[in-house]
Chains A and B, each alone.
Chain A
Amino acid sequence: MRIPCPNCGSRSLAEFSYGGAALDRPPGDIGPSPETAPAWDDFVYRRDNPAGPLRELWFHAAGCRAWFVATRDTRSLEFIAEVTP
């Protein structure tokens, strides 16, 4: 698999670390408050896990060492949308 790094261009998978689905951090503090706990449980543990486009985080570990967001189709493994640094 080749990954389009916004700084370095198309590079081999071996240079990257995966950061999983790019999810929005829930508002409020993490902690045992009954109001915020369900949203945090969801954020940490539950996933849409789509068979199709997935917005996800990549880290160019053996390159420019930047994190970026890319959208990839989990069926074809092709990157399908612009990457955003």
Chain B
Amino acid sequence: MSHYSAWSLLRHALDGHRSWAPAWRDPAPRRHYRVVIIGGGGHGLATAYYLARTHGITDVAVLEKGWLGGGNTGRNTAIVRSNYLLAANSRFYEHSLKLWEGLTQELNFNVMFSQRGMVNIAHSNAELSALHRRGNAMRLNGVDAELLSRDDLGRLMPALDLSPEARFPVMGGLIQKRGGTARHDAVAWGYARAADARGVDIIQNCEVTAIRRDGDRVAGVETSRGFIGADKVALCVAGDSGRLAAMAGLRLPIESHVLQALVSEPVKPMLDVVAVSGALHFYINQSDKGELVMGGDIDGHNSYAQRGDPEIIDHVVESAIALFPAIRRMRLMRAWGGTVDMSMDGSPIITRLPVDSLYLNGGWCYGGFKGTPAGGTALAHLIATDTPHPIADRFTLTRFDTGDLLDERGAGSSPWMH
């Protein structure tokens, strides 16, 4: 792997950037691998990378039915934070955030991690109390959190409507200064390049169509490019988790739902934090290109359509205009959807499945991008050692039978409510 640096950029500038080598190989699938990972999104690629880097397991293939990062990794709004309430989630996402802080250097690939601050806005006293509680929980868990007054919010976001006539009065807020955004595709590409350099085969346009079993054990996968044998197989397919599990005869505590996002036309810098309003189910930040990136809730019914209802877009735009009236005449440029893997308690699942040597990384709901480095670390550890990584040992499948749930929002077993 050629090292990326200011020097290599200069050197390649001399011939008009015509001599860059491809960032990863395009190998034909071999007949057998020690580990086959299904899904070339962030989690699958990160798992392959940490298998090679941390555990020295390089006889690994990542199989992707389309192109790398073409699933939720390339569709998400790239918010990275660790402002969780429950200890198990806090531990995992804080570990992930620490990995994000060194990821560009680790991968020698600029993932454009921008710790611009993650702000939660409260519109009522009750909501403010809930943010105080969350901030205290975060600090007890060793995560940075600071309360914000209305004036603080006004200084951070001059465009925010703080007037008494505001449709949604602003009472205060909470900031995690280490939170922010990253470049979504770069995460997939960076892990792919670094895994490939350690010998991992990354195979695109290769759809898994069946999982072959040998008794209680997984034997390999049927694909659009033929059968590929494997000692171990891992599912990292987000919204397709249910489909892949069905191929192994399993049912999961996961439903597939659509989550939408949208961007405005680009404008000059006007918002340099990530802002979230829990009451409005709304969030917004400004991309490096100047677009306002916005999103809201999932549509709220099972869907594999990768597109959603205009009703949600209406709601998001109305929220944006209510909070930031200055943007009311801006044009919407694009809206899209991704199929998210909503688990029954809103928390992820990283586990061995009831079929021997079959593993699952899923249940990321609307927030698994920020968990990419830690999700890959934890699944690689589980595959290599068959014991759960301590940062993810509560993300079990059995918790749904034992009652040891991780329900951040207290919404119960209705995945569309999390």
Contacts and interface: CB of A to CB of B under 8 A. Distances in A.
B309 A1 contact: yes
A46 B304 CA distance: 18
A-B pairs with lowest CB-CB distance, top 8: A49-B242, A45-B400, A46-B251, A45-B253, A51-B304, A18-B301, A45-B344, A41-B401
Interface of B: 240-243, 246, 251-256, 300-305, 309, 311, 344, 400-401, 413-416
Contacts, number: 69
Given A13-B311, A74-B304, A77-B303, A46 B252 contact: yes
B307 to A, nearest CB: 8
A75 B251 contact: no
Interface string A9-46: 00011100010110000000000000001100110111
A46 B309 CA distance: 26
Contacts of A49: 241-243, 251-252, 254-256, 302
Interface of A: 1, 12-14, 18, 20-21, 37-38, 41-42, 44-51, 54, 56, 72, 74-77
Contacts of A72: 301
Given A54-B302, A77-B303, A46 B253 contact: yes
Contacts of A1: 309
A46 B254 CA distance: 7
A48 B246 contact: yes
Contact of B300 (A18, A21, A48): A18
B224 to A, nearest CB: 17
Contacts of B301: 18, 56, 72
Of A38, A41, A45, chain B has the most CB atoms within 10 Å of the CB of: A45
Contacts of A54: 302
A71 to B, nearest CB: 12
B404 to A, nearest CB: 12
B311 A77 contact: no
Contacts of B401: 37-38, 41, 45
7 contacts: A18-B301, A44-B413, A49-B254, A49-B302, A51-B240, A51-B304, A74-B304
